[in-house]
Amino acid sequence: MITTTVSTADPETGADVEVPDALRDGIDRAATILESELGELTSKFPISADWHVVRGNDGGCIGVELDLTTTDAGVKGYPIPADDLRDDESIRRKLRKPIWHFGQTLSNLLRLDLERIRHDLETLATVTGE
């Protein structure tokens, strides 16, 4: 399952930031594409995709930062400029890197789980004398 949130709160003041319609539409489209690209992983792992709207020095929205995580591990603060959310191809191109890094995170988590299981089986075999 994938849980998607969009945060429009200014990190300094906590006040909601006004998000242009084009950026909001781009975030919605990117979230849909991300879920599609993750495919079966969304049914096998608890995944969170948190999109944080980023403001520029002038106060206007300049893009988002993506946190793509599972079990407190993953990609955090991956920057995506507003211009890269303008069409599906740009979105897919920009999502490749965080998806790759997220895949590496899942691989490492699975490796650790397998090592723990192997250790537990070895301990059990030692205790039972097999």
Structural domain including 12 reads 2-128
Segment 35-55 mean pLDDT: 92
Compute the Cα dihedral for 18, 38, 46, 97 and give only its sign: negative
Helix (H, G, I), strand (E, B) or coil at 91: helix
Contacts of 30 (CB under 8 A, 6+ apart): 51, 64, 80, 85, 91, 94, 95
Segment 41-60 mean pLDDT: 88
Domain count, the chain: 1
Q: For the segment 118-130, what is each residue's pLDDT rounded down to a tens digit? A: 888 888 878 776 6
Q: For the segment 58-107, what is each residue's pLDDT rounded down to a tens digit? A: 777 789 999 999 987 899 999 999 999 999 999 999 999 999 999 998 88
47 in Cβ contact with 3 (< 8 Å): yes
Would you give the DSSP letter of residue 83? G
- Return the pLDDT at 48: 95
CA distance 51 to 35: 13
**pTM summary value:** 0.82
Residue 65 falls in which region: left (phi positive, over 0), alpha (psi -120 to 50) or beta: beta
